[in-house]
Structure 1
Amino acid sequence: VSKKQIHTSKAPPALGPYSQAVWVDNLLFLSGQIPLNHLGELVVGSVEEQAEQIFANIDAIIKKSGGTLDDVIKLSVFVTDMGNFEAINKVMMALFSEPYPVRTTVEVSALPKNSALEIEALVNIDPDKQG
């Protein structure tokens, strides 16, 4: 299997030994994103504001790869409080349209940098559009 690493300065740098995203055939696997700006600074604010920053990061990585948020097929959402479920839904409804990506949401005890949420994405981008 051939893998290609994707990196953009418009999303935060990795916090450890991993890639922002990796291509495998037509699939783009994005590492989990927490609400960091492109300089790696934690965005504080409401859960909606944090989710918006995360999706801005996801969008930047996908755009670097030649796709759009419409190409997202699966999201994995990790939250430290399941009470934030509706706030995340609100942000997603503003960014995605039907058919929505499939999604798993899991409550966890902690996330890097004490973030309230982390989101990873699986994206299918047409080979003719791949950047």
Structure 2
Amino acid sequence: MLKTLHTDKAPAAVGPYSQAIEVEGLIFTSGQIPLVPETGELVSESIEKATERSLENVKAILENAGSSLEKVIKVNIFLDDMNDFGKVNEIYGKYFDSHKPARSCVEVAKLPKDALIEIEAIAVK
């Protein structure tokens, strides 16, 4: 059975989709751009701050679902500039220190709201 997930501790969806879906013990988050949940403000002053905000949004969704970053099995990262790869890795490594899920990272032409980064994750409950 599918369960739609929502928390006010992460930004509301900016389109016709859910923050996350749970099915058979797996949590699939939608991509999280660096929006501040309380204000809807886009964090764009640096890739480091944008990465941190996107990861905090993913973390909030997972924790609301009864999961955590330690239970993530796959992460997809979308960057508007692959030259930011090293800076993203530095922040990402603070969130995924000893636990290192599978991951993809790609450069894309454009992200919603002209965000610098978007991050999505799959985790077990």
Give the Cα–Cα distance (whole angstroms) in 2 for the partners of residues 45 and 73 of structure 1. 29
Q: Is 1:76 aligned with 2:76?
A: yes
Give the Cα–Cα distance (whole angstroms) in 1 for the partners of residues 111 and 9 of structure 2. 22
**Cα shift at 1:72:** 0.8
Q: Which letter maps to 1:25?
A: E
Contact kept in structure 1, 2:21 and 2:27, CA below 8 Å = yes
Query: Could you list the runs of 4 or more consecutive aligned residues of structure 1 that deviate by over 3 angstroms after TM superposition?
Result: none
Equivalences for residues 75-94 of structure 1 within 5 A: 75-94=75-94
**Cα shift at 1:103:** 0.5
Give the Cα–Cα distance (whole angstroms) in 1 for the partners of residues 55 and 80 of structure 2. 18
Q: Which letter maps to 1:15?
A: V
**Cα shift at 1:19:** 0.2
CA RMSD of aligned residues (A): 0.9
Equivalences for residues 1-131 of structure 1 within 5 A: 2-38=1-37, 39-125=39-125
Give the Cα–Cα distance (whole angstroms) in 1 for the partners of residues 99 and 57 of structure 2. 22
Aligned residues: 124
Q: Unpaired runs of 5+ in structure 2? A: none
**Cα shift at 1:22:** 0.3
Give the Cα–Cα distance (whole angstroms) in 2 for the partners of residues 116 and 42 of structure 1. 10
Deviations 1:60-118 (A, max 9, x none): 10110112110111000111110010111001111112340110011110000101111
Q: Look up the SS of the partner of 1:106 in the other structure.
A: strand
Q: Look up the SS of the partner of 1:120 in the other structure.
A: strand
Q: Look up the SS of the partner of 1:123 in the other structure.
A: strand
Q: Unpaired runs of 5+ in structure 1? A: 126-131
